[in-house]
């Protein structure tokens, strides 16, 4: 039983990283209908910047993280302005290919700037842990930080989408771009905002992975493993990203724990295929209804 | 009614007309609009009629900025709208109600209405950083109050916290009207506002349109196939066929105009 609970907890921690990456996919997809294959590499850059500031330059961890979050918002903003905006009106397929190019470009630059070796971001409370009374389960400081950060992020996003005028404008733009413009909404600014937010959640996910010891220039590939989480929840559903991430993380860890590591990787893709067969628009995604 | 403050405020806004000058719009070899010119006078209700595919909605799309005409200009207050983007045109005071219901169906009635106010009337996005500052909060409350007045104006106060997707067709049309009014437009574009409505819903909608014109003093451009409605409420009528303007005049005259009877109502047909 305690083995099961322990696996579930680490599954949830991994799942929340998936959820954050999935949220990045969802935000950009909702606002612009583009699948951003550069999400993983935006995440990698954010993680490396935090690592450089905190480990190399000795900034306190949370200051380094805060500064990187702000910077990654602007990185997303700038990427949208310089690379995506000129592609406006081109077929979605071309834009997606551009994001793949962007991903490899960032990876190349990161290789030059940060080197090719594996790093770890030191979390200030690293090594400490909490033992849950009653059940024989240990929560590491990293686990607690991961779950807290993810929950706070999703709470913030929820409030943003439900309550603020820019959040509501984003939902409006996702539902009908032409009409949103007639309401005076500048849809270009909405798409820049979406990319900025994708940068922020990417950095958070990257820093968490870095704390767990996964920081190297190809860590962006992990984002592709979070992709099933986004599809599982529904590509246009923010809440779906949380549930999709959690399911994926727990399923993966349980499979790995009981059947052996080799089965771990398989799980994500088995889940993806099954969900696409049963509910092609995801668990919470909106079914496309064409009115004629 | 509690609409006094809202109506007073809008009446204080200077009435504006539109000038449409020699507008031509082509899609490849198809002339959707071919040298169309007419004026919409401040405060008047002008109807555009014509058979399906004549170019009426294309013309509205040119005014809104979705299409950019290859030739000609559309002027509001002397400023050429054809150079602006749709969200800028909305910000200049052109409101629109679409032919098919185009509400944000997951948002509530109130959110739909507030959306129009928030963006068209608040161009300073950096001010949002100070969202919780007292001045912003006061503005927000003011927006909210006017939104409620507009909701009262079209009598949908009962439904204001409901997602609009759950409302009936006639009510959704009213929400669309409210959302357009929330931007306090100088000119309101209505694309078939009573299309698909029953007799009662049509009468309600006509009453709201007349209220908008008379109480708020808004200039209205109306596209409508319902000839009874057009003749009853229009000040003037413009007839478009195959992208050209074929007639213009007061509704009673237009209803008898030989060219109109030919292109629109069939040869020598009865207007009713």
First vs last C-alpha separation in chain A: 55
The complex's ipTM works out to 0.74
- Which residues of chain A lie closer than 8 angstroms to B102, CB-CB? 176, 178-179
Q: At what angle do helices A238-259 and A262-278 cross, to 10 degrees?
A: 140
What is the Cα–Cα distance from B172 to B185, expressed in whole angstroms?
Answer: 19
- Which residues of chain A lie closer than 8 angstroms to B104, CB-CB? 171-172, 175-176, 179
Q: Which of residues 176-195 of A touch B (CB under 8 A)?
A: 176, 178-179, 181-187, 189
Band of pLDDT at residue A226, cut at 50, 70 and 90: confident
A117-127 pLDDT, tens digit per residue, is 888 888 888 78
C-alpha R_g of chain B? 19
The mean pLDDT of B176-203, rounded to a whole number, is 91
> Is A142 a domain residue?
yes
Q: Do A183 and B66 touch (CB under 8 A)?
A: no
> Is A78 a domain residue?
yes
- Give every CB contact of residue B11 below 8 A, 6+ residues apart in sequence: B215, B216, B217
Number of domains in chain A: 1
Q: Do B119 and A184 touch (CB under 8 A)?
A: yes
> Is A39 a domain residue?
yes
Distance in Å, alpha carbon of B98 to nearest chain A alpha carbon: 9
What is the Cα–Cα distance from A110 to B120, expressed in whole angstroms?
Answer: 42
Tell me what pLDDT residue B264 has.
63
The DSSP element (H or E) to which A147 belongs, if any, is helix A141-163
- Which residues of chain A lie closer than 8 angstroms to B114, CB-CB? 165, 168
B19-58 pLDDT, tens digit per residue, is 999 999 998 888 899 999 999 999 999 999 988 888 999 9
- Which residues of chain B lie closer than 8 angstroms to A291, CB-CB? 100
Tell me what pLDDT residue B216 has.
87
> Is A283 a domain residue?
no
Model confidence at B265: pLDDT above 80: no
Model confidence at B73: pLDDT above 60: yes
A6-52 pLDDT, tens digit per residue, is 888 889 988 999 999 999 999 998 888 888 999 999 999 999 999 99
Q: What tokens were used for A282? A: 């995801």
> Is A130 a domain residue?
yes
Mutate to test the interface with A, among B97, B115, B163 (most CBs of A within 10 A): B115
Q: Which of A108-122, A129-143, B235-249 has the lowest mean pLDDT?
A: A129-143
- Give every CB contact of residue B255 below 8 A, 6+ residues apart in sequence: B227, B231, B271
User: What average pLDDT does chain A have?
Assistant: 87
- Give every CB contact of residue A270 below 8 A, 6+ residues apart in sequence: none
Q: A-B interface: how many C-beta pairs under 8 angstroms?
A: 72
**More reliable by pLDDT, B133 or B272:** B133
Q: Coil, strand, or helix at residue A97?
A: helix
Specify the CATH number for the domain of residue A166.
1.10.3470
A168, A172, A183 ranked by CB distance to B120: nearest: A183
Strands (E), chain B: 18-27, 30-40, 45-49, 71-76, 79-80, 94-97, 187-191, 219-223, 236-241, 244-249
Q: Coil, strand, or helix at residue B1?
A: coil
**More reliable by pLDDT, A83 or A222:** A83
Distance in Å, alpha carbon of B53 to nearest chain A alpha carbon: 17
Model confidence at B217: pLDDT above 90: no
Model confidence at B130: pLDDT above 60: no
B66, B95, B111 ranked by CB distance to A168: nearest: B111
Q: Do B118 and A169 touch (CB under 8 A)?
A: yes
What is the Cα–Cα distance from A99 to A103, expressed in whole angstroms?
Answer: 6
> Is A287 a domain residue?
no
Band of pLDDT at residue B227, cut at 50, 70 and 90: confident
Tell me what pLDDT residue B210 has.
94
> Is A289 a domain residue?
no
Are the CB atoms for A198 and A42 separated by under 8 Å?
A: yes
The mean pLDDT of A187-205, rounded to a whole number, is 93
The mean pLDDT of B159-168, rounded to a whole number, is 89
Band of pLDDT at residue B9, cut at 50, 70 and 90: low
Model confidence, pTM: 0.81
Tell me what pLDDT residue A263 has.
80
> Is A209 a domain residue?
yes
What is the Cα–Cα distance from A53 to A75, expressed in whole angstroms?
Answer: 17
Q: Torsions phi, psi of B6, nearest 5?
A: -65, -45
Tell me what pLDDT residue A205 has.
94
Q: Does A171 touch chain B (CB under 8 A)?
A: yes
Q: Which of A211-215, A233-237, B197-201, B234-238 has the lowest mean pLDDT?
A: A233-237
Tell me what pLDDT residue B92 has.
87
User: Which 8-state DSSP code applies to residue B238?
Assistant: E
Distance in Å, alpha carbon of B120 to nearest chain A alpha carbon: 4
- Which residues of chain B lie closer than 8 angstroms to A182, CB-CB? 64, 86-87, 90, 95-96, 98
Percent of residues, chain B, with pLDDT higher than 90: 43
Band of pLDDT at residue B3, cut at 50, 70 and 90: very low
- Which residues of chain B lie closer than 8 angstroms to A187, CB-CB? 87
Domain that holds residue A80: 2-278
């Amino acid at each position: 039983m305690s083995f099961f609970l322990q696996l579930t907890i680490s599954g949830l921690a991994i799942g929340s990283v998936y959820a954050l990456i999935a949220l990045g996919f969802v935000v950009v997809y909702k606002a612009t209908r583009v699948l951003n294959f550069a999400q993983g590499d935006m995440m990698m850059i954010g993680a490396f910047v935090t690592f450089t500031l905190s480990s190399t330059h000795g900034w306190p961890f949370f200051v380094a993280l805060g500064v990187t979050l702000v910077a990654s918002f602007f990185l997303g903003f700038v990427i949208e302005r310089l690379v995506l905006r000129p592609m406006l009106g081109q077929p979605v397929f071309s834009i997606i290919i551009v994001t793949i190019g962007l991903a490899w470009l960032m990876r190349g630059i990161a290789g030059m700037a940060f080197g090719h070796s594996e790093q770890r971001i030191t979390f200030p409370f690293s090594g400490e842990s909490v033992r849950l009374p009653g059940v024989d389960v240990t929560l590491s400081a990293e686990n607690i930080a991961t779950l807290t950060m993810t929950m706070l992020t999703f709470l913030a996003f929820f409030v943003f989408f439900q309550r603020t005028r820019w959040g509501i404008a984003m939902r409006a733009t996702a539902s009908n771009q032409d009409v949103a413009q007639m309401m005076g909404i500048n849809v270009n600014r909405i798409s820049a905002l979406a990319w900025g937010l994708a940068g922020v959640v990417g950095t958070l996910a990257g820093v968490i992975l870095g704390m767990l010891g996964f920081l190297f220039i190809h860590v962006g590939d992990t984002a592709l493993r979070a992709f099933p989480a986004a599809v599982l929840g529904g590509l246009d559903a923010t809440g779906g990203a949380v549930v999709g991430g959690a399911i994926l993380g727990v399923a993966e860890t349980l499979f790995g724990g009981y059947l052996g590591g080799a089965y771990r990787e398989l799980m994500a893709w088995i889940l993806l295929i099954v969900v696409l067969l049963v509910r092609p628009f995801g668990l919470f995604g909106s079914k496309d209804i064409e009115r004629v | 009614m509690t609409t006094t403050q809202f109506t007073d405020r809008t009446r204080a806004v200077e009435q504006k007309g539109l000038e449409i000058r020699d507008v031509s719009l082509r899609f490849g070899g198809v002339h959707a609009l071919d040298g169309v010119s007419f004026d919409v006078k401040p405060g008047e209700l002008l109807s555009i009629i014509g058979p399906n595919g004549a170019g009426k909605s294309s013309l509205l799309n040119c005014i809104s900025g979705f299409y950019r005409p290859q030739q000609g200009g559309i002027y509001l207050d002397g400023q050429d709208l054809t150079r602006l983007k749709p969200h800028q045109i909305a910000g200049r005071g052109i409101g629109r109600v679409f032919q098919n219901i185009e509400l944000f169906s997951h948002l509530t009635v109130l959110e739909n209405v507030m959306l129009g106010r928030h963006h068209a009337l608040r161009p300073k996005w950096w001010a949002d950083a100070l969202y919780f500052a007292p001045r912003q909060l006061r503005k927000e409350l003011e927006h909210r109050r006017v939104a409620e007045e507009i909701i009262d104006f079209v009598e949908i106060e009962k439904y204001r916290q409901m997602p609009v997707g759950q409302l009936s067709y006639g009510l959704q049309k009213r929400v669309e009207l409210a959302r357009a009014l929330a931007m306090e437009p100088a000119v309101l574009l209505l694309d078939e506002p009573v299309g698909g409505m029953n007799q009662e819903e049509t009468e309600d909608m006509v009453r709201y349109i007349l209220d908008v014109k008379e109480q708020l003093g808004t200039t209205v451009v109306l596209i409508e196939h319902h000839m009874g409605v057009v003749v009853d409420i229009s000040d003037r009528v413009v007839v478009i066929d195959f992208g050209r303007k074929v007639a213009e005049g007061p509704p009673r005259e237009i209803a008898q105009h030989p060219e109109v009877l030919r292109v629109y109502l069939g040869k020598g047909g009865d207007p009713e």
